[in-house]
């Protein structure tokens, strides 16, 4: 029964060992805070790049090819969105996909699941390809095929992203709904 012979050690504030430990703790706390701030700045920078890159490509795509023909003059059903709403929603989808890709990247998911990056890049490329095909070249059938391929890539992104980070997987769901709606619009454009 060694515990009966133990005595409590009283620590005084003027003890040199205690003051040295306090100084070290304050220095370590400052170093940790500086490291966390530097890491946060890098994280914000990488988030800005991950979101602005696909968003700027989408904006450039809309600027170059968005008003290729008179989409507004086509006879279409009442539920067809106007061209400006199509473009804004495509930008929102691009923003959400960039954000979800960043969440996966921050968790190290592109190293753990290399197919996630290729699916994301395929989805980005196919969604950028859809606008010039449908609005500029007026090839609605080809646009429908491209959109269905983009939907397949989105489903793959959703599965891989969800396995790495559930929030990233949830951010892909509105993009899936938008791609499905665009497929319906595109199918209707084929028959107009």
Question: For residue 36, is pLDDT > 80?
Answer: no
Q: Which of 11-20, 96-105, 129-138 has the lowest mean pLDDT?
A: 11-20
Q: Residue 116 is encoded by which pair of tokens?
A: 């996630």
What's the CA gap between 85 and 91, in Å, rounded? 10
Among candidate residues 40, 32, 176, the one with its CA nearest the CA of residue 106: 40
Say if residue 149 is exposed, middle or buried (CB neighbours under 10 Å; 0-12, 13-18, 19+): middle
What is the tens place of the pLDDT at every residue in 156-167? 999 999 999 999
Q: Residue 137 is encoded by which pair of tokens?
A: 């070249």
In the predicted model, what is the mean pLDDT of residues 27-40? Answer: 67
What's the CA gap between 175 and 180, in Å, rounded? 9
What's the CA gap between 152 and 123, in Å, rounded? 8
Q: Please check whether residue 124 is in contact with residue 141, taking contact to mean a CB–CB distance below 8 angstroms.
A: no
**What pLDDT, on a 0 to 100 scale, did the predictor assign at position 28?**
62
**What pLDDT, on a 0 to 100 scale, did the predictor assign at position 3?**
59
- Collapsed DSSP state (helix, strand, coil) of residue 137: coil
- 136: confidence class by pLDDT, cuts 50, 70, 90: confident
**What pLDDT, on a 0 to 100 scale, did the predictor assign at position 74?**
66
Among candidate residues 53, 160, 49, 167, the one with its CA nearest the CA of residue 111: 160
Q: Residue 30 is encoded by which pair of tokens?
A: 């400052």
What's the CA gap between 21 and 28, in Å, rounded? 10
């Amino acid at each position: 029964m060694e515990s009966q012979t133990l005595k409590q050690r009283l620590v005084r504030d003027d003890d040199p060992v205690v003051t040295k430990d306090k100084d070290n703790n304050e220095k370590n706390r400052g170093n940790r805070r500086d490291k966390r701030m530097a890491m946060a700045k890098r994280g914000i920078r990488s988030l800005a790049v991950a979101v602005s890159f696909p968003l700027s490509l989408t904006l450039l795509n809309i600027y170059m090819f968005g008003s290729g023909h008179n989409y507004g003059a086509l006879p279409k059903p009442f539920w067809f969105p106007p061209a400006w709403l199509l473009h804004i929603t495509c930008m929102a989808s691009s923003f959400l996909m960039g954000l979800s890709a960043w969440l996966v990247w921050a968790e190290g998911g592109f190293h753990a699941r290399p197919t996630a990056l290729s699916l994301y890049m395929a989805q980005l490329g196919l969604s950028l390809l859809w606008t010039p095909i449908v609005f500029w070249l007026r090839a609605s059938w080809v646009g429908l095929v491209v959109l269905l391929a983009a939907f397949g890539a989105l489903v793959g992104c959703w599965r891989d992203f969800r396995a790495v980070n559930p929030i990233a997987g949830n951010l892909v769901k509105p993009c899936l709904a938008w791609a499905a709606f665009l497929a319906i619009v595109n199918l209707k454009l084929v028959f107009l």
